[in-house]
């Protein structure tokens, strides 16, 4: 196992992502995962751009396949309150109790309020599809 794989394995294990850990140890290819909504234009563009660059990408619609408590906790630890998009009508429609709750509660109750896309590349997470994220992920 290479030093990079050992580092990724330890990082994934510390984040509680044991299935990915086992896959990496078994020598499987580790593909990028985009977490978002199938109807989100930015998520669609990110997926298309990554695939055009030859990256192995899978997509997970968080509305039809909600994040587990473990996954959500990991993402909130990574991004904090930035993980909730407070500019959407869906966020504004939340009741006051949920708006004043933690990000995990907000996203669990209404997955559409999650800022997107969230892209996992190995043990690294990226939020959004701005120029910085594109330059990082699309480089050869």
Same structural domain for residues 19 and 39?
A: no
The domain spanning residue 80 has which CATH number? 3.40.30.10
Distances (CA, A) of 132 to 12, 42, 106, 114: 23, 15, 27, 20
Same structural domain for residues 113 and 101?
A: yes
Question: pLDDT tens string for the chain (140 positions)?
Answer: 455 555 555 555 555 555 554 555 444 556 899 999 999 999 999 999 999 999 999 999 999 999 999 999 999 999 999 999 999 999 999 999 999 999 999 999 999 999 999 999 998 999 999 999 999 999 87
The total of structural domains in the chain comes to 2
Same structural domain for residues 19 and 88?
A: no
Same structural domain for residues 46 and 81?
A: yes
Q: Which domain holds residue 134?
A: 31-138
Question: CA dihedral defined by 41, 46, 52, 57, rounded to 10 degrees?
Answer: -120
Same structural domain for residues 23 and 48?
A: no
Same structural domain for residues 60 and 46?
A: yes
State the burial class of residue 33 (Cβ atoms within 10 Å of its Cβ: 0-12, 13-18, 19+): middle
């Amino acid at each position: 196992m290479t030093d990079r794989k050992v580092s990724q394995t330890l990082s994934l294990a510390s984040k509680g992502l044991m299935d990915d850990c086992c896959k990496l140890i078994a020598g499987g290819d580790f593909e990028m995962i985009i977490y978002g909504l199938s109807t989100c234009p930015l998520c669609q563009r990110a997926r298309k751009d990554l695939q055009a660059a030859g990256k192995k990408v899978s997509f997970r619609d968080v509305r039809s396949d909600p994040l587990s408590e473990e996954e959500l906790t990991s993402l909130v630890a990574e991004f904090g309150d930035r993980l909730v998009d407070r500019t959407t009508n869906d966020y504004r429609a939340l009741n006051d109790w949920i708006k004043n709750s933690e990000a995990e509660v907000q996203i669990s109750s209404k997955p559409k309020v999650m800022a997107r896309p969230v892209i996992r590349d190995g043990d690294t997470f990226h939020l959004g599809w701005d120029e910085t994220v594109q330059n990082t992920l699309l480089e050869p």
